[in-house]
Amino acid sequence: MMDTQTSVEIAGYRLPVVIERVNGSYQATSPALDGFLVLADTLDEVLALAPGVARALLEAMQAKGVTPPLVVEEVRFPTQIDVLVPA
């Protein structure tokens, strides 16, 4: 059993993502991060790929000396998040 009294912190970015159906596929973009684009055949694939695409884009920006347009947030555990579960 996990000890829920232990507080752990991580830092990360909260990225709003817009997912649309486009020509039978799924497309994810973000109004907060120019250049963020994920295309996939299924919703599951988009959701699985999105964090890695965002991370790669943010790392590329930082490598070029560009400050990401997102604020780093600290998250303490335990925490609550929403998870999209297709029906």
Domains parsed from the chain with CATH numbers: 9-77 (3.30.160.250)
Quick one: pLDDT band at residue 2, thresholds 50, 70, 90?
low
Q: How far apart are CA 23 and CA 27, in angstroms?
A: 10
pLDDT in tens, 29-73: 999 999 999 999 999 999 999 999 999 999 999 999 999 999 999
Q: How far apart are CA 21 and CA 43, in angstroms?
A: 9
Q: Which residues pair with 18 in a beta bridge?
A: 29
Quick one: pLDDT band at residue 78, thresholds 50, 70, 90?
confident
Report the pLDDT value the prediction gives residue 82, as an integer from 0 to 100. Answer: 87
Quick one: pLDDT band at residue 83, thresholds 50, 70, 90?
confident
